[in-house]
Amino acid sequence: MENICGSNILAHARLNVFRGEIVGLLGMNNAGKSELMDILTGRLRAEKGTVYFEDHPVFFTSPSQANELGICYIHGEQELLKEFTVTENIFVMRRKHDGQLLNMKQLSTRCSRLLGVLFSEETGIRFQAGDRLRDLNGLQRLAVQIIKTISENAKLMVIDHYIDDFPHHWVTSLRKWLSLLTRNLNISFIVTDHKAHNLSKLCDRIFVLRSGMSVGTFSKNEYDEKMLTSVMTGSLMEDREYYWRPSPGEKKILEFSGVRIPGEKNKLNIELIANEMVGLCCMSHHFVKNFCDALIGEVPLQEGKILLDGTPIEISSPEDITKYGIGIVFGRARLFPNMSFEENVSITALRKFSAKTGIVNNSASTLAASEALSIWKPPHLLSGGNQIDRYTEKKILISRAMATLPQVMIYQNLDKGLDDVAYDRLVREIWGTPIRPKASLFISSNVRNLIKVCTKIYFIYEGQVINKVYPAQTTEEAMLSYYKAFCEM
């Protein structure tokens, strides 16, 4: 298959799935995973090769044709309406109806029966037919989409880049449930990801794709995480050493003292000392969202105070956090595709270096943006409709925050959407940048990646710190063992 520029995306890519099997497709960013799944589900046309389904060659020109045969595609939450109930999402929003008027009472009863049949206590995945999607976590929302496809007589489901930021206990629960579905309903699954540790826990077999080519197929008893990563990257993965870490100072740079955010009953107390890279490990997406909203002033703190250099600060808008010298790179941040790199990077610097009268200090903002740009070396411009990969997108977002010359940097889910190699490269560049904040905070549910970069990691449960660990003072095995127990709380 070729892209519009004429360069190969896929070449000699292959994959097979048996009835009642969970198959993983592992590859780095831009390896061709999504393109291969797009061909399978009728979203993309292959120039060469054949797709066989139930021993018959098939050629799809649209996703609806694949759906008719029972091949369904799940990618993100685009087809879910968060204000609707589980019943409404499964039956009202389905791709096809039988032509009859919808009776919501009957549909709710039918949905409750379906949930009762498909769930078991051992999976740990439970919700009710009347629950609204906005109140469910990411694993439960994935379950709703799977149940929806089951109600449409799915035979093969493609789960594409959905479990990227799933914590350990979610992957464990998903494995138990998918195994139950494959055993009882004889349904098959293809799960794509760029992180070996997720797929290694989930799948019966794993196909590895590298630069558009299939380079390996491994059964459950034939692989470990390190070996899969080596095949995926094409290089031997040795045991990683900790990155260089500066010695922490004594001065408190940023402190959250007795902070209680909306929806939590407990108080949060954390501190960032000079030169520290601090991790915040939390399994609750609801807590992380509210914590980040409070950081940029979108929701008020219920109690407590935030101190910067020992002085309390009040944040009521995103402009305030820039004014105080705090740079943020949140998962929700977006680029402006019709603007150049320079314009994307300098937009926050313009805000910071503007006078109170509203007069823009172009020279100061341009100087700061130029320094950030020279360090991060953007490879091309965004304008003109150019597509960029997630690694480059992260670099631009970091450059945008660095251009404000912050005292503190806060990163949320920096590893999301990046394979291990890309994340390692990004972390090394953060460590090596001359624009070095006094302290940094990394928020993630993936303790593996926090271990790589942080000098101190707080574990958060129900809105409060339940443990504090120092990676340099313990082994990675001990931390992962604690992390596993933490995930099961």
Determine the pLDDT at residue 311.
93
Residues 301 and 294: beta-carbon distance below 8 Å = yes
Max avg pLDDT among 89-103, 110-124, 148-162: 148-162
Determine the pLDDT at residue 354.
52
Running DSSP on this structure, what letter comes out for residue 132? B
The string of pLDDT tens digits covering residues 331-379 is 766 666 666 666 666 666 555 555 444 444 444 444 444 545 554 444 4
3-state DSSP call for residue 105?
A: helix
Q: Which two tokens stand for residue 260?
A: 């209680």
Please tell me which residue, 114 or 139, carries the higher pLDDT value. Answer: 139
Ordered by start, the domain boundaries in the chain are: 22-233, 252-487
Buried b (16+ CB within 10 A) or exposed e, 250-275: eebbbbbbebbbeebeebbebbbbeb
Buried b (16+ CB within 10 A) or exposed e, 35-65: bbbbbbbbbbebeeeebebeeeeeebeebee
* Identity of the amino acid at 267: K
- Least confident range from 190-199, 438-447, 478-487: namely 478-487
Angle at 104 between CA 98 and CA 105, to 5 degrees: 120
Average pLDDT value over all residues in the chain: 80
Residues 25 and 215: beta-carbon distance below 8 Å = no
Q: Is 186 exposed, middle or buried (0-12, 13-18, 19+ CB in 10 A)?
A: exposed
Residue 31 CA, chain-centre distance (Å), reads: 18
Determine the pLDDT at residue 222.
74
Q: How far is CA 298 from CA 87, 134, 320, 489, in A?
A: 31, 18, 11, 29
The string of pLDDT tens digits covering residues 267-308 is 999 999 998 899 999 988 889 989 999 988 888 899 999 999
Q: Which residues pair with 360 in a beta bridge?
A: 354
pTM recorded for the entire structure: 0.71
> For the domain 252-487, what is the CATH code?
3.40.50.300
Determine the pLDDT at residue 26.
93
303-308/252-260 β-pairing? antiparallel
Q: Which two tokens stand for residue 156?
A: 């093969």
**Percent over 90 (pLDDT), the chain:** 29
- Please count the other Cβ atoms lying within 10 Å of the Cβ belonging to residue 86: 28
Please tell me which residue, 315 or 486, carries the higher pLDDT value. Answer: 315
Residues 353 and 319: beta-carbon distance below 8 Å = no
Please tell me which residue, 60 or 472, carries the higher pLDDT value. Answer: 60
- With tokens 């995945």, the residue in question is 125
Highest CATH level, class, for 22-233? alpha beta
Question: What CA–CA distance (Å, rounded) separates 274 from 109?
Answer: 58
Determine the pLDDT at residue 339.
63
- Sorted by sequence, the CB contacts under 8 Å of residue 231 that are 6+ apart come out as 208, 210, 215, 216, 218
Determine the pLDDT at residue 370.
52
- With tokens 């823009």, the residue in question is 360
Q: How far is CA 41 from CA 44, 91, 201, in A?
A: 8, 22, 25
Q: Using pLDDT thresholds of 50, 70 and 90, give the confidence band for residue 242.
A: very low
Question: What CA–CA distance (Å, rounded) separates 251 from 175?
Answer: 46
